[in-house]
Chains A and B, each alone.
Chain A
Amino acid sequence: MEIPYTVENRPDTGIYNAKVGIWLFLASEVMLFGGLFSAYVLLRVGAPEGHWPHGWLDVRFGTINTILLALSAITTLLAWAACKVREFGKFKFFHACTILLALTFLGIKSYEYHDKWIHYEIQLKDGTFADGHLEEQNDKEVVLHGRIVKDEKDLYDLRAQKDIQLGEVKIDLANIVKMQNYGPWHNTFTAIYFTLTGLHALHILGGTLVIFYLWGPGSKMYKTDPERFTNRIEVSGLFWHFVDLVWIFLFPVLYLT
């Protein structure tokens, strides 16, 4: 039994099945990320004055990642175009680029996660706060590469403070009230940062796996049914462009504001 319009367009709707499917799926994805962005807006608007962090994320990494995804959008398009004009070698090259760009993106993202993971805020008994990357921890003391501030509020807006002096800070364990790294549990910003970028990274990972399959074992179909294969590249490309688009929103929302 054959399902009609898997490859060719249905005359009256002018579209093939999988393309309808992916657009519908993307509509639901818009609602998914729309819900999360709404949550972001509501939480940020509801945050007390001066408590929303600024400048916690490295804009340089964010910019590089934005450029990587933008380039991968171009290579995805070129890979599809190469399929369309039946130039298999070019297709292989462009999608190899897509996969490498995506993996580099994930690598940089993991580095950023790691950077937050080893970043600690320590509340001290005298009411001050130590803050910085964990260098060493033994049963007597904790060594941070960071600084000590009088008020926790001074840790929120890093963009307003131009010349932050970082150095080695040694803290006696007995002096510590509370020690917590910048994980999702740290505050609302890290929570939404890890959730949004984590879900996005999962989408990147899923998209990369699909593209890798179509680039590797799945490309056998090119020899037998090139039109259907080209459709697959198009449909996976549509998903990939959506994932890029989500990042275009995430970058300013999390890094720049």
Chain B
Amino acid sequence: MQPNVEQFPPHRAETDAHAAHGHGHDDHSHGHDEHHHQPNFWTQYIFSTDHKVIGIQYGLVSLSFMLFGLFLMVMMRWQIAHPGVPVPVIGSLLAAVLGQPAAHGIISPELYNSFGAMHGTIMVFLGVVPLAFAAFGNYVVPLMIGAPDMTFPRINMASFHAFFLGGLVMLVSFFIPGGAAQAGWTSYSPLASTIPTDGQAFWLVGMVLLITSSLLGAVNFIATIIQLRAPGMTWMRLPFFVWAQFVTAFLLLLAFPPLEAAGLLQLMDNVAHTSFFLPTGLAVSGPVGQASGGGSPLLWQHLFWFLGHPEVYVLILPAMGIVAEVIANNTRKPIWGYKSLVYAALVVGFLSFIVWAHHMYLTGMGQGIATFFQATTMIISIPSVVILTCMFLSLWGGSIRINTPMLFALGFLPMFGIGGLTGLPLGLAAADLYLHDTYYVIAHFHYVVAPGTIFALFAGVYFWFPKMTGRRMSEFWGRVHFWCSFVFMNLVFMPMFAQGIKGMLRRMSDGGVNYSAARVPGVIDTLPGTVMEMNTWILWAAIGLGLAQIPFIINLFWSISHGEKVNSDNPWHATTLDWQTPTPPPHGNFAHEPHVVRGPYDYSVPGAANDFCPQNEPGVQAPRPAH
């Protein structure tokens, strides 16, 4: 903190509303301003309303959840590769903590299902979305648009606390009798209502809290971007990252409520024994149950995927925004096709609301509906490809600086490309009938999210770390982290395409041993031996991937106090406003209100003194015409 910077805009105490009347109490009111109290640990780090602190809170919590999700994944991979064999090293710990489901350190099928459901839930709703949207959005968006904070700082704090509580409920559900939810992250009914565990109710309550958090965040982000842009920051001067967050916020705002509705209905099914999603005559391993029936399992799927598909773009758009910033900065030239990127992001956002049923080709919802959603699914790939193409073309002719953020951004491009292109066969109903529910699907969406989005998030961490702390993360260990992650990510997910094409189904706790044995040799193919062997390779690659994160964790914490100090507020020589603040930015962010005079990516402007012209730097150069 720099105590002597003149803060923008001048203080007005909320507690002393006389100041608003201009009664001349302004000077006096400073003494009452809450921020001038001695900040203690609680007000500064736990109940802070500063968007930067909240961003960092979100970041640390979501990174921890991602680590936990990774741990669940490694446990599952062990069970797949060695079904029924006790987990080495930590097996006894599992047995001690979780009891019967992990008896003798063996992961029971029920526990495997819990881990699977919670891995998905944690990675999506507690890991990637909070990190990509809430953490980076909170920290960077107000800085990029030249705002002193978010529009509603206290709602921002409430949003984080709802998120934290939701995460806590999810974690607690592991320890209740019956264990955590087991019906997959999609929680399809009637399965979700018939598994005898209260974990599903915990899951639903946790989701309602997380959805509430997202809604509060989304309202805040949109209102901030509409209302708090600095003078001169017109819509087409917004950095692409801000546009990406803007579209993402709308997706969260409009797609999450239907899932909240679905969650309420399923909660009624599980707690009040209604039959919203339970069909008439439902029998579970015995006589027909007592439920009144008359419900529709398909209804859950429609409501779930109405969120579920926009959610995919919630995961990917902020990542694209980060990559665009990093690429523009490190190619030292304007991002190629800024306007195309913006319009493509808007089109993606709109179309993402009308593609959801491509997850449901196998439900028998009807060929006409399938044809419609197949068409929209093919159409939405166009703006996605536009975005990716713009980023590739941005590299052309640039004098590329290779550093850790840039490595991760460059890694994002082909990985997301693989993830996106392998999605096309799944979007076509005919091909999906075969590939649905196989490991091919797992490989596809993990290529989008894991080496795709998560690489972009790593790029963001390395990129904005100097702004947050005033120090750089170690370049050497950053590169070690990148290359190991890159290699192991591909070793984990690439074989899954082959497994899926050969017919290995997802959600099998024994890696397909029983399934393979139950098939009739010679009549129906068993899974080939190599497919089963791949389970072992993937296990070791997954362990390698876990170990590859150790340099990152150490680097992250070590660099806070020991990293190389940056010698300016703008160490990457960037143009956007987030780098024109003191380092780290004080409460209120800017020393003087920035006046924006140019677009976001004025790199290498001919005739300019430097190869970068910050957005608020009044220069003699006429602003470069936008693309």
Chain A residues in the interface with B (C-beta under 8 A): 1-5, 7, 10, 13, 15-18, 20-21, 24-25, 27-29, 31-36, 38-39, 42-43, 46-48, 51, 183-188, 191-192, 194-195, 199, 221, 224-225, 228
Contacts and interface: CB of A to CB of B under 8 A. Distances in A.
A27 B253 contact: yes
B228 A1 contact: no
A199 B296 contact: no
B153 A3 contact: yes
B276 A43 contact: yes
B371 interface: no
A168 B295 CA distance: 34
A5 B303 CA distance: 37
B219 A25 contact: yes
Contact of A195 (B264, B299, B303): B264
B272 interface: yes
Contacts of A2: 9-12, 148
Nearest to A187: B292
Given A2-B12, A184-B268, A187-B294, A21 B587 contact: no
Contact of B151 (A7, A17, A51): A17
B interface: dominant SS: helix
Interface string B11-23: 1100001101100
B274 A20 contact: no
Nearest to A37: B261
Interface in B281-326: 291-292, 294-296, 299, 302-303, 306
B512 interface: no
Nearest to A36: B261
Interface in B150-171: 151-153, 155
A1 B149 contact: yes
B588 interface: yes
A117 to B, nearest CB: 13
A225 B23 CA distance: 12
Interface in B1-39: 7, 9-12, 17-18, 20-21, 35
B265 A20 contact: no
Nearest to B291: A185
Contacts of B152: 17-18, 21
A185 B273 contact: yes
Nearest to A185: B273
Contact of A1 (B7, B155, B253, B255): B7
A184 B294 contact: no
B227 interface: yes
A190 to B, nearest CB: 8
Contacts of A21: 151-152, 155, 219-220, 223
A3 B148 contact: yes
Contacts of A29: 257
A3 B253 contact: no
Q: Which of A16, A18, A188 has the most CB of B within 10 A?
A: A188
A7 B254 CA distance: 27
A185 B276 CA distance: 10
Given A191-B276, A224-B18, A35 B306 contact: yes
A46 B148 CA distance: 53
Contacts of B153: 3
Interface residues of B, number: 54
B203 interface: no
A5 B11 contact: no
26 contacts: A1-B588, A2-B148, A3-B153, A4-B227, A7-B20, A13-B227, A15-B227, A20-B227, A21-B152, A24-B218, A24-B219, A27-B253, A28-B256, A34-B257, A38-B302, A42-B299, A43-B276, A43-B299, A46-B294, A185-B275, A187-B294, A188-B276, A188-B295, A191-B275, A192-B276, A195-B268
A54 to B, nearest CB: 16
Contacts of B155: 21
A interface: dominant SS: helix
A183 to B, nearest CB: 7
A221 B272 CA distance: 43
B303 A188 contact: no
Given A5-B227, A39-B261, A28 B296 contact: no
Contact of A39 (B18, B215, B219, B276): B276
Contacts of A188: 274-276, 292, 294-295
Nearest to B216: A25
A43 B149 contact: no
B223 A31 contact: no
Contact of A27 (B148, B254, B272, B306): B254
A231 to B, nearest CB: 12
A129 B228 CA distance: 65
B582 interface: no
Across chains A and B, which 8 residue pairs bring their CB atoms closest together, nearest first?
Answer: A35-B261, A35-B258, A32-B257, A191-B274, A224-B17, A31-B257, A1-B588, A188-B294
A5 B264 CA distance: 36
Given A3-B151, A29-B257, A35-B262, 19 more contacts: A3-B153, A4-B228, A21-B151, A25-B215, A25-B219, A31-B254, A32-B261, A34-B258, A35-B257, A38-B258, A38-B303, A39-B276, A48-B294, A183-B272, A184-B272, A184-B273, A185-B291, A191-B292, A194-B272
B226 interface: yes
Interface string B222-261: 1100111000000000000000000000000111111111
A214 to B, nearest CB: 15
B269 to A, nearest CB: 9
A199 B588 contact: no
Nearest to B225: A20
Nearest to A26: B219
A155 B254 CA distance: 39
Contact of A28 (B18, B220, B254): B254
A221 B20 CA distance: 12
Contacts of B253: 24, 27-28, 31
A251 to B, nearest CB: 20
Contacts of A35: 257-262, 303, 306
Contacts of B276: 39, 43, 188, 191-192, 195
B544 to A, nearest CB: 42
Contacts of B218: 24, 28
Contacts of B258: 31-32, 34-35, 38
Contacts of B223: 17, 20-21, 24
Given A25-B219, A43-B294, A187-B292, A195 B265 contact: yes
Given A3-B153, A225-B20, A191 B222 contact: no
A3 B149 contact: yes
B341 to A, nearest CB: 24
Given A32-B261, A35-B261, A188-B295, A225 B9 contact: no
Nearest to B300: A39
B20 A228 contact: yes
A50 to B, nearest CB: 13
Contacts of A195: 264-265, 268, 274, 276
Contacts of A48: 294
B254 A39 contact: no
Nearest to B228: A4
B35 A199 contact: no
B352 to A, nearest CB: 14
Q: Which of A2, A32, A43, A183 has the most CB of B within 10 A?
A: A2
B6 to A, nearest CB: 12
Contacts of A20: 151, 222-223, 226-227
Contacts of B272: 183-185, 191, 194
